[in-house]
Chain A
Amino acid sequence: AQSVTQLDSQVPVFEEAPVELRCNYSSSVSVYLFWYVQYPNQGLQLLLKYLSGSTLVESINGFEAEFNKSQTSFHLRKPSVHISDTAEYFCAVPNTGNQFYFGTGTSLTVIP
């Protein structure tokens, strides 16, 4: 079975500062990796995903993640965060089909 581990449960960061949310995966086969975001009192939304090809993937709102096979990581980064980025972020890997295994989440709080 595939799994992911999110190393930080809470990450406070000042507005306009850079941020990195860490995710490590465990898989013995080719892996697809996803980052989902959950804003307060809402469901999950896809932020970005790695399927194949370029190891650097980007989202439309400035986040990026790099697939690193040697370090089994898929860390999420943003060079300058905004107040509106305050949310819970989940790393996920599909098991059978798109039946996702989610990490425990990282709560990002952007401080004005």
Chain B
Amino acid sequence: ETGVTQSPTHLIKTRGQQVTLRCSSQSGHNTVSWYQQALGQGPQFIFQYYREEENGRGNFPPRFSGLQFPNYSSELNVNALELDDSALYLCASSPGGAEDTEAFFGQGTRLTVV
């Protein structure tokens, strides 16, 4: 089985632009979560999708939005980029969203906003 894959691995954008990050979940996983990890910090939960529906959201503004497709892959969109959006964005998939369920992480997309 393939693991969680994210694309692109690195990205440089200008303040005010929009960006789309992509994630392919592990085979058999119907739940995808997105996290933002700023330099030197722990990952912070952005939102989660379960079977194409948003299933919870962290403390992030509406310009952070997402989508999950029928094959359970997912996108994270960020509009009106700010310098503070520079971070590693991690996608995690799991076979359901129960609290005892391990999340399997991709290697992340490093976003730099200049």
A-side residues, CB < 8 A to B, are: 6, 32, 34, 36, 41-46, 49, 51, 90, 92, 94-105
A-B contact count (CB 8 A): 73
Docked Cα-Cα span, A42 to B110, in Å, equals: 11
For residue B40, which residues in chain A have a CB less than 8 angstroms away from its CB?
105
Can you list 13 A-B pairs, Cβ within 8 angstroms, ordered by A?
Answer: A36-B105, A43-B4, A43-B105, A44-B43, A44-B90, A51-B100, A95-B45, A97-B48, A97-B97, A98-B99, A99-B56, A99-B58, A101-B45
**B56 touching A97, Cβ below 8 Å:** yes
B-side residues, CB < 8 A to A, are: 4, 31, 33, 35, 40-45, 48, 55-56, 58, 90, 92, 94, 97-108
Q: How far is the CB of A53 from chain B (nearest CB, A)?
A: 12
Q: How far is the CB of B36 from chain A (nearest CB, A)?
A: 11
For residue A6, which residues in chain B have a CB less than 8 angstroms away from its CB?
42
Docked Cα-Cα span, A36 to B106, in Å, equals: 13
**B99 touching A97, Cβ below 8 Å:** yes
Query: Contact partner of B45 among A49, A99, A105, CB < 8 A?
Result: A99
